[in-house]
Amino acid sequence: MRAIRRFTVRTVLPPQLAPLGELVQNLRWSWHPETMDLFAEVDPEVWERVDHDPVALLGAVEAERLRELAQDRRFLRRLADAADDLREYMTAPRWYQSLDGAPAAIGYFSPEYGIAAALPQYSGGLGILAGDHLKAASDLGVPILGVGLLYRHGYFTQSLSPEGWQLEHYPSLDPGGLPLTLLKEEDGSPARIRINLPGARTLHAQVWVAQVGRVPLLLLDSDVAENDAAARDVTDRLYGGGGDHRLVQELLLGIGGVRAIRAYCRITGHPEPEVFHTNEGHAGFLGLERIRELTEARLSFEEALEAVRAGTVFTTHTPVPAGIDRFPIDMIARQFGGSNAWPTVAVDRILELGAEPDGPDKDPSVFNMAVMGMRLAQRVNGVSELHGRVSREMFQGLWPGFDVDEVPIGSITNGVHAPTWVGREMMELAGGELSSMIDMAQGWDSVQKLSEADIWRIRGQLRTRLVEEARERMKRSWRQRGASDAELTWVDEALDPDVLTIGFARRVPSYKRLTLMLSDPDRLRRLLLDPDKPVQIVIAGKAHPADEGGKKFIQQIVRFADSEDVRHRIVFLPDYDMALGRLMVTGSDVWMNNPLRPLEACGTSGMKAALNGGLNLSIRDGWWDEWYDGNNGWAIPTADGVDDPGRRDELEANALYDLIEREVADRFYDRAPDGLPRRWLEMVRHTLSSLGPKVLAGRMLHDYVVQLYTPAAGSARALVGDGYENAKLFAAWKLRVARAWPGVRVEHVEATGIGDTPELGARLELRATIALGDLSPEDLQVQAAYGRVGAQDELIAPSHVTLKADSVDDDGRAHYTGVVPLDRTGAFGYTVRAVPSHPLMASPAELGLIAVPEEPVGMTNGTLR
């Protein structure tokens, strides 16, 4: 018989133990081992049984044991110290509190969060990144308010069938059994969020608050009594259903999320966000809700749009076109039109925001969430330098007329939260020296002072832990697959704590090429079984439930790993989650990654490995393209430009085998007389000191605050003040400029000052005549672009100088002058262009308007000697 409803009855703690409740409710424990030690002491045996889940611990521990602890002076003292430590962590000024002009609060929206294995609200990198973002924000005192959904079945757990096929199970999560508190009004009733749906339906949701250190995370949950059955299931699963289901989830996240923030700030007095950060397109409706709020406060759509854009940051996460979130236009029209339309926001305006720009890839029948995200945010970024470049190409159509380099999409490379991902032994190395470095992102040079013997000893401990835990997991998996214990004695000998260990764990979309290592099974077998320099490989990964192809890849790996001759050297561990991820990134000597370049936007698991002294062996994609320096790991050569995918895989797989055989294994097994692999350890140290400061989530947060949040707050304040006066002026100016722009022309350009044989150091004096149409000189900027030119006279990464307006004729022609320095030899060219100009613009390309000469001007291509 199945229960129709489940809930968790919480323990009533004796008053002396009340601080224990506070410690459990604050997820800071997930990155604070000292707090975990205290939990273990509550009841070591129960602690193991509940898999180190503090809420489950309090539910499972006997009342008698709690009474005992309430009398235990030593325990109470430790408890008081831990509670004090948390209070101090929560309130002391930190890095952010020393800044000027930074926003009072930032709303951060993400469809998934990886905070702890006990809160399975993530499927992969996007969620893990969001979790690390919140934790690092907490450590640095960045006042983020997180917003997400509470999925009642989270993401699936994975096991294997006897044939090695992925099986999915969706655990039933009960918020009462999670470290969450329900947001309540002052009268004690649960706060309610409502969204109107077509057909006169209303979606209701409640709001759970997870306290992630200093950062509150609001999770909306539609499983409430007022909802019909379909509406209750809106937040059932992460990325579970089809289009309609996903749309309602995203409405709840974006629109409901803003409403949840308003409720939370009203009830708790928390400052309202000045900046909103949209983490990937799924959360994009938040901008529409804020436009609705402002239009109800009597701003026009355009004015509201400007005010919202100024304070919005949008981060794109995928260079895979198929990964972009899109809905059929009809679905959006039904939600925001007809009888369900918002009175102050016309549905056509909303549809325009998500319309794909003109071009060969335009699909007029879809509403594109990434495109809307970019139109609703004045500041946009990708998540590594390479991904920034790819995104500028991918979305160039939104800024027609501008060269790809000028497309206003920047990049901030992802980072990882060290206290979450670094093994405790490694953190404690050098008497805590490393842990203070990890906070400050500085002082990494002192890694050079760590003794090689210490590093090697700790690496050995971490590898041994991986081997032992992997054996346990293998047994569990084999039992589930129907094996008896008698058949499993070999597992005790599987893997070897002294063998070079390669880790490979990730989601299994096809571009990540889980099975590349199987390209030549015999060669792989030889590497695994090499009598002198064997390697062992530990693999994990989940395929999306609807991805049959991904499940086939897993099955191929599992079948190979099942073979009797190699099963002690290559294993697939089911159910990749944060706990298994941490085990693998801490215990692996080498972290392998072989995506199809450039489809991995950033990747973060290799960063986690690096912080643990693991060495990366990876295709130069995402972050590794940027920070591989020739000595901090290995780059697998890519066969970019080889069009036949099979051939490309083969080439790259061979390069991978070669590297493992000739370089990686060689270095690992090259031992000095004292047993230490000196050349290996040199590389480990160099990895720690070169990558350590860069890969930290603290560095990432610093970059977001300085490069995006603070400038966005500045723009937002400029527009919001004085009753939105500047928002009104800016919107009116944009309309006027856009209308008048067809009248702007670069009519004539003259160059003097360099004679017939231009020489380095000469100065080219430019005089340009611009027809202004109905605009005045203040409305635009005239620039010379100059520098190296390519074979088609195209300027390559040009520099710009602004020309000065000398005079304006009565007929609306203006004359501009300026000087271009001939600062490089070789093929050199220049041109002149006009772009709109306004102090509230964040980039010259913002309006997507540009005027360039119709005919090539003067000397576009002289050669300097």
Ligand X SMILES: *Cc1c(COP(=O)(O)O)cnc(C)c1O
Element (H, E) at 585: helix 578-587
Tokens of 440: 């400050």
Comparison of 216 and 595: residue with beta carbon closer to ligand X? 595
Binding to ligand X (CB under 6 A) within 270-309 occurs at: none
Tokens of 357: 């720009």
Q: Which of 120, 354, 603, 858 binds ligand X (CB under 6 A)?
A: 603
Q: Tell me how far, at minimum, the Cβ of 371 lies from ligand X, in Å.
A: 24
Comparison of 605 and 632: residue with beta carbon closer to ligand X? 605
Q: Tell me how far, at minimum, the Cβ of 111 lies from ligand X, in Å.
A: 15
Tokens of 595: 């995506």
Piece of 31-39, 523-531, 600-608, 787-795 that binds ligand X (CB under 6 A):
600-608
Binding to ligand X (CB under 6 A) within 122-151 occurs at: 124-125, 128
Q: Which of 506, 568, 597, 620 binds ligand X (CB under 6 A)?
A: 506
- Does 411 interact with ligand X (rule: CB under 6 A)? no
- Does 577 interact with ligand X (rule: CB under 6 A)? yes
Q: Are 528 and 535 in contact (CB under 8 A)?
A: yes
Comparison of 545 and 603: residue with beta carbon closer to ligand X? 603
Q: Tell me how far, at minimum, the Cβ of 477 lies from ligand X, in Å.
A: 17
- Does 406 interact with ligand X (rule: CB under 6 A)? no
Q: Are 416 and 695 in contact (CB under 8 A)?
A: yes
Q: Are 441 and 696 in contact (CB under 8 A)?
A: yes
In 3-state terms, what secondary structure has residue 190?
A: strand
- Does 164 interact with ligand X (rule: CB under 6 A)? no
Q: How far is 625 from 614, CA to CA, in rounded Å?
A: 17
| 411, β-bridge pairs | 382
User: What residue is closest to ligand X based on CB?
Assistant: 581
Residue 365: exposure state from Cβ atoms within 10 A (0-12, 13-18, ≥19) = exposed
Tokens of 69: 């602890």
Residue 759: exposure state from Cβ atoms within 10 A (0-12, 13-18, ≥19) = exposed
Comparison of 367 and 504: residue with beta carbon closer to ligand X? 504
Q: Tell me how far, at minimum, the Cβ of 581 lies from ligand X, in Å.
A: 3
Q: Tell me how far, at minimum, the Cβ of 481 lies from ligand X, in Å.
A: 22
Comparison of 610 and 782: residue with beta carbon closer to ligand X? 610
- Does 318 interact with ligand X (rule: CB under 6 A)? no
In 3-state terms, what secondary structure has residue 146?
A: strand
Comparison of 603 and 844: residue with beta carbon closer to ligand X? 603
Q: Tell me how far, at minimum, the Cβ of 577 lies from ligand X, in Å.
A: 5
Piece of 97-105, 120-128, 318-326, 462-470 that binds ligand X (CB under 6 A):
120-128
Omega before residue 598 within 30° of 0, cis = yes
Binding to ligand X (CB under 6 A) within 604-663 occurs at: 604-605, 608
Piece of 31-39, 523-531, 570-578, 684-692 that binds ligand X (CB under 6 A):
570-578
Total interface residues for ligand X by CB under 6 A: 12
| 217, β-bridge pairs | 146, 210
Q: Tell me how far, at minimum, the Cβ of 645 lies from ligand X, in Å.
A: 21
Q: Are 340 and 326 in contact (CB under 8 A)?
A: no
Q: How far is 756 from 399, CA to CA, in rounded Å?
A: 37
Q: Which of 369, 364, 411 is nearest to 392 (CA)?
A: 411
- Does 598 interact with ligand X (rule: CB under 6 A)? no
Q: How far is 141 from 120, CA to CA, in rounded Å?
A: 25
Piece of 361-369, 575-583, 770-778, 819-827 that binds ligand X (CB under 6 A):
575-583
CA distances to 116, 147, 219, 702, 848 from 113, rounded to whole Å, are: 9, 9, 10, 20, 35
Comparison of 396 and 594: residue with beta carbon closer to ligand X? 594
Q: Tell me how far, at minimum, the Cβ of 626 lies from ligand X, in Å.
A: 14
Comparison of 417 and 734: residue with beta carbon closer to ligand X? 417
Q: Are 117 and 578 in contact (CB under 8 A)?
A: yes
Q: Tell me how far, at minimum, the Cβ of 242 lies from ligand X, in Å.
A: 24
Comparison of 290 and 608: residue with beta carbon closer to ligand X? 608
Comparison of 155 and 680: residue with beta carbon closer to ligand X? 155
Can you give the length of the chain in residues?
A: 865
Q: Tell me how far, at minimum, the Cβ of 603 lies from ligand X, in Å.
A: 4
Piece of 548-556, 576-584, 778-786, 813-821 that binds ligand X (CB under 6 A):
576-584
- Residues 403-417, buried b or exposed e (16+ Cβ, 10 A)? beebbbbbbbbbbbb
Q: Which of 39, 336, 576, 786 binds ligand X (CB under 6 A)?
A: 576
Q: Which of 142, 294, 578, 665 binds ligand X (CB under 6 A)?
A: 578
Piece of 121-129, 160-168, 229-237, 735-743 that binds ligand X (CB under 6 A):
121-129
- Does 551 interact with ligand X (rule: CB under 6 A)? no
Q: Which of 103, 175, 581, 836 binds ligand X (CB under 6 A)?
A: 581
**Amino acid in the structure at residue 282:** H
Comparison of 72 and 469: residue with beta carbon closer to ligand X? 469
Q: How far is 206 from 844, CA to CA, in rounded Å?
A: 43
- Does 395 interact with ligand X (rule: CB under 6 A)? no
Comparison of 130 and 193: residue with beta carbon closer to ligand X? 130
Inter-residue long-range contacts of 355-361, CB under 8 Å, 24+ positions, other chains counted: 356/397, 357/397, 357/398, 357/400, 358/397, 358/400, 359/397, 361/321, 361/397
Q: Which of 261, 259, 352, 340 is nearest to 305 (CA)?
A: 352
Q: Which of 626, 647, 644, 648 is nearest to 635 (CA)?
A: 626
**Amino acid in the structure at residue 156:** F
Q: Which of 744, 760, 708 is nearest to 864 (CA)?
A: 760
- Does 509 interact with ligand X (rule: CB under 6 A)? no
Residues that bind ligand X (CB under 6 A): 124-125, 128, 506, 576-578, 581, 603-605, 608
